[in-house]
Amino acid sequence: MNESLDPNRLPTATLVLGGIRSGKSAFAERLIEAAGDGLYIATAEINDDEMAERVRRHQERRGDTWTTVEAPIKLIEAIREADRPVLVDCVTLWLSNLIYAQADVAREVKALGALLIDPPRPVVVVSNEVGLGGISSNELQRSFADLQGATNQILAEAARRVVLISAGLPLVLKDTTHT
């Protein structure tokens, strides 16, 4: 394993970025598992059979060793209340939930960024990287991609470590755990 990804040196906040099915969730799970018992904060809301199957596969891969807290909207509170290292999966679904709930998305994202500067426990946050694909012809999709990209930039600025996952392989983009 890359020395900067040594799980014994889990920084206060790690952002794991990647595309759909890139392996980002499994990678983030391994980081937390190596550090001890983890708290899995799930942001998904199950609204159809396909999402139910995705959630089932994630749960099966994790096994029974994780404690799961569902926080589709109240993510910041769930992180603050955590009593062990935290995995947040994922920011993209959380953003969608905030929009649907007509929440103040900008305020929530800024609050999450501020929390990641000095969280109460180590936090690994998973988020989709949307900046590598083409520009959609759909206005709503373009708007969401802009929001996701801006959110990722705020979280990357706050995080001590940022890792991009592609084809299951990690590339460290930022690591300030040495400074």
Q: Where is 157: in which H helix or E strand?
A: helix 139-158
Both structure tokens of 49 = 């059979």
Q: What is the DSSP string of 59-122?
A: HHHHTTS-EEEE-SS-HHHHHHH-SS-EEEE-HHHHHHHHHHTT--HHHHHHHHHHHHHS-SS-
178 assigned to active site: no
Among residues 56, 94, 52, the alpha carbon closest in space to that of 72 is found at 94
Catalytic residue, candidates 18, 24, 58, 161 = 58
Can you tell me the distance from the alpha carbon of 41 to that of 28, in angstroms, rounded to the nearest whole number? 12
Q: Which residues are catalytic?
A: 58
